[in-house]
């Protein structure tokens, strides 16, 4: 076998080892692992998700902006709510359609280590936005799923609540998830909470 043939064979062997399919595993009901919703396609490839488009209704929240990012795929939307809350909506994903909501608010006092009240606060924050959103996934159903998940864990004294848990809801053929991803204190008395909704794979 000549040198060129040996080189080709070795390349094929390495490729087959690197790209083994992911093994499935059993997961607790309604809770999925943390998933990265960032692009899984190179800029040269077609993205199933398509270019980001604004989801905020200006008639409801006039103080809003939308900016498509240089990749022509993701986007950032900002909202100033009448109650003073600030919201950043990050349009993400490629194989998945994901909306990441970052709320900055001074309306809630519990420490960010107290997950149960903050999970409920996150549901309240999202509920306050719903009338002004027009998104291609059922955010209202996602908020209901989040609230039900909290209530179901009362018997465990909320010990099973965790940041980054992807709580499933919706159609099994096109599953959706909601998760509370982070909690933090910012300058002054503000708190920052991040909520992500996703649907896919598309």
The pLDDT score that the predictor gives to residue 19 is 35
Give the integer Cα–Cα distance in Å for 108 and 105.
7
Give the integer Cα–Cα distance in Å for 174 and 202.
7
User: Which residues contact residue 83 at a Cβ distance below 8 angstroms, ignoring those fewer than 6 apart?
Assistant: 107, 128
* Distance set, CA 79 to CA 53, 86, 164, 177 (Å): 15, 6, 24, 23
Give the integer Cα–Cα distance in Å for 127 and 105.
14
Give the integer Cα–Cα distance in Å for 156 and 86.
33
pTM: 0.78
* Phi, then psi, of 121 in degrees rounded to 5: -60, -40
The pLDDT score that the predictor gives to residue 109 is 83
Give the integer Cα–Cα distance in Å for 44 and 27.
34
**Cβ-based burial of 187 (10 A; exposed 0-12, middle 13-18, buried ≥19):** exposed
The pLDDT score that the predictor gives to residue 46 is 67
Tokens of 123: 């549901």
Please report, in tens digits, the pLDDT of each residue of the chain (202 residues total). Answer: 444 343 434 443 434 333 333 333 333 334 444 444 544 434 445 677 788 999 999 999 999 999 999 988 899 999 999 999 999 999 998 888 999 999 999 999 889 899 999 999 999 999 999 999 999 999 999 999 999 999 999 999 999 999 999 999 988 888 999 999 999 998 778 999 999 999 988 7
For the chain, the structural domain boundaries read: 30-199
Give the integer Cα–Cα distance in Å for 94 and 17.
25
Give the integer Cα–Cα distance in Å for 112 and 23.
35
Q: Please, how many CA atoms are within 13 Å of residue 118, restricted to the half-sphere of its CB? A: 26
């Amino acid at each position: 076998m000549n040198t060129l043939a040996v080189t080709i064979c070795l390349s094929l062997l390495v490729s087959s080892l690197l790209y083994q399919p992911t093994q499935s595993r059993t997961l607790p009901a309604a809770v999925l692992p943390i998933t990265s919703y960032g692009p899984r396609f190179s800029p040269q490839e077609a993205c199933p998700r398509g270019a980001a488009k604004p989801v905020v209704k200006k008639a409801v929240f006039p103080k809003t902006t939308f900016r498509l990012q240089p990749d022509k795929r993701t986007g950032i939307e900002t909202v100033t709510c009448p109650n003073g809350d600030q919201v950043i909506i990050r349009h993400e994903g490629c194989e998945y359609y994901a909306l990441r909501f970052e709320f900055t608010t001074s309306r809630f006092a519990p420490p960010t280590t107290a997950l149960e009240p903050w999970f409920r606060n996150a549901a309240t924050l999202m509920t306050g936005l719903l009338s002004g959103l027009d998104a291609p996934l059922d955010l209202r159903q996602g908020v209901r799923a989040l609230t039900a998940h909290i209530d179901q864990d009362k018997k465990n004294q909320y010990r099973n609540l965790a940041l980054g848990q992807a709580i499933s809801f919706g159609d099994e053929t096109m599953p959706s998830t909601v998760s509370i991803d982070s909690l933090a204190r910012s300058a002054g008395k503000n708190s920052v909470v991040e909520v992500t909704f996703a649907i896919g794979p598309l």
